[in-house]
Homo-oligomer: A and B are copies of this chain.
Amino acid sequence: MDNVSSTPYVAEPFQVDFNGKLFMSVLGNNLLNTAGFHANDRGFGIATLNQSKYTWVLSRFVIEMNEMPSQYEHYSIETWIEKVFRFFTNRNFAIKGDGGKVYGYAKSIWAMISLDTRKPEDLLVLHGGSIVNYVVPEKECPIDPPGRVKVTDAEPVFTYRSCYSDIDVNGHVNSVKYMEHMINLLPFQLFKEHFIKRFEIAYVAESYIGDVLHFFLHKNSELEYLIDVRKEAENGTFETVCRGFIQLI
């Protein structure tokens, strides 16, 4: 089995925005789906891991696009593992179109945790360390890796109680739903003439159904935004759930 998989998609009518361009959140879901299929086919997917009481946790995710697929356009997502460390693995993606066209790239960092202890497990020991057989260090993914997303001087701009449609099969707010809610904070007029060039997100803690999420926004410039999502604890304190950086061109 090839260490790089390629999964075909088409930008369906309900997956595109008012410009007829694929929603970043739909792309995000399809990137994660493709990762899931790639891992399952190679014996280290969520389904197999859950039987062994482990699961993957997404820690960092960055997507950088030259262009978004338009309605009805076909695109494929390639994914492969770039590196494996003891407690983290780097998974990369390329989003390609017909005739060698490159829509963009993505990079992600994952940890494997024990479902019992919620602590990271040693990837080089699990399953006999077989994950290292799938590493493709040489394949190109020419975007900057996830940086440090630091949000200061941000203003609270939106409060939201997470609900049924936000929650995935693990009982958490779906990783990509945070992206969708963050994008909704931007002035929508921006999307008439610009698109998201780079979206970076750092996951810090999990949130659950009914959690009250506060969105704090810092505007670097007309086309650059930082967002901190904090959940309200029962004692009135706030805990950061994730942080995002959105750059449009």
Contacts and interface: CB of A to CB of B under 8 A. Distances in A.
B18 A171 contact: yes
Contact of A163 (B29, B184, B210): B184
Interface in A1-50: 12-14, 16-20, 23, 25, 29, 32-33, 36, 46-47
A180 B29 CA distance: 17
Interface in A165-204: 165, 167-171, 174, 176, 180, 183-184, 186, 188, 191
Nearest to A29: B14
As for how many copies of this chain the complex holds, the number is 2
Nearest to A189: B209
Interface string A35-77: 0100000000011000000000000000000000001100000
Contacts of A23: 165
A29 B11 CA distance: 13
Contacts of A13: 32-33, 36, 46, 168-169
A137 B92 CA distance: 50
Contacts of A165: 23, 25, 180, 183-184
A227 B72 CA distance: 33
Contact of A14 (B19, B33, B191): B33
A164 B188 contact: yes
B186 A164 contact: yes
Enumerate the 5 nearest inter-chain pairs by beta-carbon distance, A residue then B residue, closest first: A163-B184, A14-B29, A164-B188, A18-B167, A20-B169
21 contacts: A13-B32, A13-B46, A13-B168, A13-B169, A14-B32, A14-B33, A14-B174, A16-B168, A17-B164, A17-B167, A18-B168, A18-B169, A18-B170, A25-B165, A163-B188, A164-B183, A164-B186, A165-B183, A165-B184, A167-B188, A188-B209
